[in-house]
Amino acid sequence: MRKYVTALGDTWDIIAYKMYGDERKMSVLIEANPQHRETVFFSADVALQVPDVATATSTVLPPWKR
């Protein structure tokens, strides 16, 4: 598990994009940091836990990429 220290104005989706490259993984961050679940905009220097997430890679290509 990694840590992330927030910058002023960070939001859950921005942090998820920075850490995972996908803002839709913000729910993983919120679940790992329940004490901050009501926070919308973070102040600076808040330490958050960033769990490792397995990235699913599909071996099936769509028809236009075959």
- Has residue 27 been placed in a domain? yes
**Number of domains into which the chain is organized:** 1
Q: What is the pTM of this model?
A: 0.79
- Has residue 60 been placed in a domain? no
- Domain holding 20, by residue range, is 2-52
pLDDT of 17-45, one tens digit each? 999 999 999 999 999 999 999 999 999 99
Work out the average pLDDT over 2-31: 96
Percent of the chain with pLDDT over 70: 89
E strand map for 2-58: 2-5, 47-50
The model's confidence at residue 53, banded by pLDDT at 50, 70 and 90, is confident
- Nearest alpha-carbon partner for 23 in 53, 64, 59, 58: 53
- Has residue 21 been placed in a domain? yes
Tally of CA atoms within 13 A in the half-sphere of 3 that contains its CB: 4
pLDDT at 59: 60
- Has residue 57 been placed in a domain? no
- Has residue 65 been placed in a domain? no
* CATH number of the domain to which 17 belongs: 3.10.350
